[in-house]
């Protein structure tokens, strides 16, 4: 039903009908008043007062689940008996029981949220919710509870896929299109904050393509002011159609609670991970470019005639890589991938990772003052030699470190530039000798006491005997560092 004209509008119509000799300025003033009156009116019907997000929640909430993950370890009977003795006589929680475990077990537990994304019972959640866990249960909104298996872990995106065992009738949530979100769009966050039960909060999209969050390798997050708290991890960010547009993954907080700055992984990345799981994959394979990219500075942009600093600069390329074979050149600026703009290396990494490992991608490139397109063949990074994983346990500065032979595949997984030869550190145990010696993930061992280290077998042979002095050279981010350790 159309609204009746406001009093100023009716008055203006009467005056105009009586005289056509009004001066221009009063007319302008009257028109401004009329517009203000039309824009600022109270609700005129009960329906306008009762506008609600409830229909969207009813549609989306059944798809959001609580995720309970645990890691149970069997313990030595003697240590379990001592733990039981301590609990009985000193009133302490027996370490052997962990968090509610039985004697002889040690349990760690994690609580989060997830979203059903397929009628077969596939659930998307955060990898950090189930990291290091070996038992998972999910609880549906209708209080049904199921055991679930871990189908796929993808630490680089902080996503994981679970499969509900014997799911029965479940309600999957459609995956939406995060590429068409705009700042200011209404969204809702649904999850299980602090374990209190399913909770819905509402807000807007505060920003898109946030790249300085640090919770995964692919920095391209949706920012929202919808309240997200611990326990919301893995839960749904939902648009007004009831579609999944993001998986809530992190918050900015100095207190542990919501400050109105939450981050979600976009639906476009979720789709890629879910499709891999549907196809039976246990790991997500992504395309390899084989180039080192840099941010475009204002000076670089000005030198090639760009009106603003955008895109990524090709700083170098590996021999026989897709980048080199496509015809890309050092100094090229990549502006788009298949028509999607890329503003910085993080945006490039995100867009390129979505392309899969078959077919081609078309790069929009600025070369000098000219724009052109370059076709890049998509494929996974090659494993040019066996990894030969080595966990060092011998008495040496490397004790507690895990090392592998370098290759393009290893460099791609670790998201670091690695030389073609050498041994890379992939992990360092906390409080280990290697950690105290200062070794970090991504370090490449070059030499020990002047002898070149080409493989993990070389390093294993060199560390068999305890030496009085260890002179170790490493490549860290392109810089060669040499340190001396005394054994």
What is the H or E stretch that residue 269 is in? Answer: helix 267-278
pLDDT in tens, 430-456: 889 999 999 998 899 999 988 999 999
pLDDT in tens, 28-37: 455 555 555 4
Judged by average pLDDT, the poorest of 178-187, 226-235, 339-348, 399-408 is 226-235
Q: In whole angstroms, give the CA distance from residue 381 to residue 431.
A: 33
Catalytic, out of 113, 128, 326, 332: 128
178 in a labelled binding site: no
pLDDT above 70 for 318:
yes
Burial class (CB in 10 A: 0-12, 13-18, 19+), 184: exposed
233 in a labelled binding site: yes
pLDDT above 80 for 82:
no
Q: Which residues of 461-474 are buried (b: 16+ CB within 10 A; e: fewer)?
A: ebbeeebeebebbb
What is the H or E stretch that residue 12 is in? Answer: helix 7-18
Strands 360-367 and 333-337: antiparallel
233 is catalytic: yes
180 in a labelled binding site: no
- pLDDT cut 90: percent of the chain above it: 41
Catalytic, out of 70, 113, 154, 158: 158
pLDDT for 252 equals 64
338 is catalytic: no
pLDDT above 60 for 27:
no
Q: Per-residue confidence at 250, pLDDT binned at 50, 70, 90?
A: confident
232 in a labelled binding site: yes
pLDDT above 90 for 390:
yes
Query: From the CB of residue 439, how many other CB atoms can be counted at a distance below 10 Å?
Result: 24
pLDDT for 257 equals 58
Nearest to 147 by CA among 159, 162, 133: 162
Over the chain, what is the mean pLDDT?
Answer: 81
Catalytic, out of 6, 233, 268, 321: 233
Nearest to 79 by CA among 96, 92, 93: 96
Q: Are 172 and 116 within 8 A, CB to CB?
A: yes
pLDDT in tens, 116-172: 999 999 999 999 998 888 789 999 988 899 999 999 999 888 899 999 988 778 999
128 in a labelled binding site: yes
């Amino acid at each position: 039903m159309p609204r009746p004209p406001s009093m100023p509008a009716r008055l203006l119509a009467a005056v105009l009908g009586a005289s056509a000799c009004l001066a221009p300025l009063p007319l302008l003033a009257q028109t401004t008043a009329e517009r203000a009156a039309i824009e600022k009116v109270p609700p005129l019907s009960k329906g306008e007062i009762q506008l609600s997000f409830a229909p969207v929640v009813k549609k989306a909430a059944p798809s959001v689940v609580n995720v309970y993950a645990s890691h149970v370890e069997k313990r030595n009977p003697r240590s379990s008996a001592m733990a039981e003795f301590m609990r009985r006589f000193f009133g302490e929680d027996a370490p052997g029981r962990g968090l509610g475990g039985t004697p002889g077990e040690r349990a760690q537990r994690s609580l989060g949220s997830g979203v059903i994304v397929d009628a077969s019972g596939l659930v998307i959640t955060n990898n950090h919710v189930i990291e290091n866990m070996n038992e998972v249960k999910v609880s549906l909104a209708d209080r049904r509870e199921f055991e679930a298996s871990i189908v796929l872990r993808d630490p680089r995106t902080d996503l994981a896929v679970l499969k509900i065992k014997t799911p029965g009738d479940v309600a999957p949530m459609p995956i939406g299109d995060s590429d068409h979100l705009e700042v200011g769009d209404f969204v809702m966050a649904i999850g299980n904050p602090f374990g209190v039960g399913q909770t819905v909060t509402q807000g807007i999209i505060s920003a898109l393509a946030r790249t300085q969050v640090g919770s995964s390798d692919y920095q391209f997050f949706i920012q929202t002011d919808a309240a997200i708290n611990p326990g919301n991890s893995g839960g749904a960010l939902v648009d007004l159609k009831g579609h999944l547009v993001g998986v809530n993954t992190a918050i900015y907080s100095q207190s542990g609670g919501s400050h109105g700055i939450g981050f979600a992984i976009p639906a476009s990345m979720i789709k890629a991970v879910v499709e891999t799981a549907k196809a039976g994959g246990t790991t997500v394979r992504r395309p390899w470019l084989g180039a080192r990219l840099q941010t475009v500075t204002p000076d670089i942009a000005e030198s090639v005639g760009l009106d603003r600093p955008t895109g990524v600069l090709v700083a170098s390329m590996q021999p026989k890589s897709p980048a080199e074979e496509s015809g890309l050149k050092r100094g090229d600026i990549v502006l788009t991938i298949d028509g999607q703009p890329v503003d910085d290396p993080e945006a490039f990494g995100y867009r390129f990772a979505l392309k899969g490992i078959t077919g081609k991608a078309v790069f929009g490139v600025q070369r000098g003052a000219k724009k052109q397109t370059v076709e890049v063949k998509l494929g996974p990074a090659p494993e040019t030699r066996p990894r030969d994983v080595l966990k060092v346990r011998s008495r040496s500065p490397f004790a507690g470190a895990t090392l592998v032979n370098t290759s393009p595949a290893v460099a791609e997984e670790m998201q670091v530039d690695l030389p073609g030869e050498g041994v890379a550190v992939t992990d360092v145990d906390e409080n280990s000798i290697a950690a105290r010696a200062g070794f970090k993930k991504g370090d490449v061992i070059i030499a020990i006491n002047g002898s070149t280290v080409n493989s993990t077998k070389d390093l294993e042979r060199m560390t068999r005997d305890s030496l009085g002095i260890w002179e170790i050279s490493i490549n860290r981010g392109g810089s060669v560092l040499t340190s001396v350790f005394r054994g």
